[in-house]
Amino acid sequence: MAQKNILSFVPNTITLMNALSGCLSIVFSFTGNLTLAGLLILIAAVFDFFDGMAARLLHVSSAIGKELDSLADDISFGVAPSAIAFMLVNQKLNLTDINIADLPLGTMLLCLLPFVMAAFSALRLAKFNLDERQTDKFIGVPTPANAMLWASLPFIAKYNADGFFAQYVITAEVMLPLCVVMSLLLVCELPLISLKFKTWDFGSNKVRYIFIAICAVLIATLQVAAIPAILAVYVIVSLFCMKENDDDK
């Protein structure tokens, strides 16, 4: 029992590193270093991937670990991407040097709209913890997937400034409605494949391995601009799998 209690610190420590990465991302967002903020969300995602794997490998899954994971995820994949979206919108509206409290109420609320994603991320994580359907699939877009989208935008703006996404997506006119759309997708009844591996064999993870292969091709061809495309492919592949499963019934 003592050994199991000691081993339980391993996945929980990894989860805490996820939360710490998210906190640092928020700090760097508000100080204007959005690429580092985005990188820290990616680092948080790595920790999020390995904490569950560590818990399964060490056979130390626990209720506190599950709750801690959700709290960390809301920081790293709820508040942190919202902070990036907030700063990007304010940059595009040329409001970064203006005290937001001095703005007209309507403009202020518009600028703060990205934080709706943080609230919906918390709702999505709470639903996930209670929804017994989500053991081998997701219902709604997972919070890490939404976070990856927003984490990629500073890199796209910096390293692919002449590309489609930088020119037509990273604008206030697109990002503000996108915040609303992604918030709704987080909690909608949309079945999506889970990307968490319980085993490594190809047979039970065929779709996951195919998706990873597609991601590799997209990253090789589009570089940083691949992440929004990967999210779109993720939804399309999930819908295809759902239709295939319905046809098999």
Q: What is the CATH number of the domain that holds 150?
A: 1.20.120.1760
Dihedral sign of CA atoms 104, 106, 108, 111 in order: negative
Cα 85 to Cα 182: distance, rounded to the nearest angstrom: 12
Helix, strand or coil, per DSSP, at residue 192: strand
The backbone torsions φ and ψ at residue 231, rounded to the nearest 5 degrees and listed phi first, read: -60, -40
**Which residue stretches of the chain have pLDDT < 50?**
2-3
Q: Per-residue b/e over 177-186, b at no fewer than 16 CB within 10 Å?
A: ebbeebbebb
Q: Quick count: other Cβ atoms within 10 Å of Cβ 118? A: 22
The domain tally of the chain equals 1
Question: Does residue 76 fall inside a structural domain?
Answer: yes
Residue 211 near residue 193 (C-beta atoms within 8 A): yes
What is the pTM (predicted TM-score) of this model?
0.86
pLDDT at position 99, please?
85
pLDDT at position 193, please?
79
Question: Does residue 174 fall inside a structural domain?
Answer: yes
pLDDT at position 168, please?
87
Question: Does residue 67 fall inside a structural domain?
Answer: yes
Among 127, 99, 113, 114, CA closest to 187: 127
**Residue showing tokens 């499963």:** 245
pLDDT at position 194, please?
74
pLDDT at position 217, please?
93
Cα 51 to Cα 216: distance, rounded to the nearest angstrom: 23
pLDDT at position 82, please?
98
Question: Does residue 133 fall inside a structural domain?
Answer: yes
Enclosing H/E stretch for 134: none
pLDDT in tens, 41-95: 999 999 998 887 777 777 777 778 788 999 999 999 999 999 999 999 999 999 8
Locate all alpha helices (DSSP H) within the chain, ordered by sequence: 2-7, 9-30, 34-58, 63-74, 80-92, 105-112, 116-130, 143-159, 164-168, 172-187, 206-222, 226-248
Q: How far are the Cα atoms of 129, 152, 197, 217, 243 from residue 212, in angstroms, in the given order?
A: 26, 18, 12, 9, 20
Question: Does residue 31 fall inside a structural domain?
Answer: yes
Question: Does residue 21 fall inside a structural domain?
Answer: yes
Question: Does residue 90 fall inside a structural domain?
Answer: yes
Question: Does residue 63 fall inside a structural domain?
Answer: yes
Domain with 152, as residue range(s), is 2-188
Question: What's the chain's average pLDDT?
Answer: 86
pLDDT at position 189, please?
85
